[in-house]
Amino acid sequence: MLGSRGLVGDKWSSRILWFCALGSAVGFYMVALERRAQNMERAMAEYSKELESGGQQSSGGDV
């Protein structure tokens, strides 16, 4: 009934494989973008803390 090829034929199995590969690539790309945004946000928060604390200390010491 199904033949020796199994549930799906060679043509469809390769299409499914490419679809899964592309889906994984898109997923990894989205995760990379999210992590980059989080890292940028964290770096900006640390930088602003350094400016606030460092700016107050250095202005009193420089003058």
Chain center to CA of 11: 32
User: What pLDDT is recorded for position 1?
Assistant: 46
Which of 32, 52, 50 lies closest to 40, judged by CA? 32
The number of beta carbons lying within 10 Å of the beta carbon of residue 13 is 13
The segments of the chain whose pLDDT lies below 50 read: 1, 58-59
Sign of CA dihedral 12, 14, 15, 16: positive
**Amino acid at the residue 27:** G
CB of 8 closer than 8 Å to CB of 16: yes
Question: Which pTM does this prediction carry?
Answer: 0.60
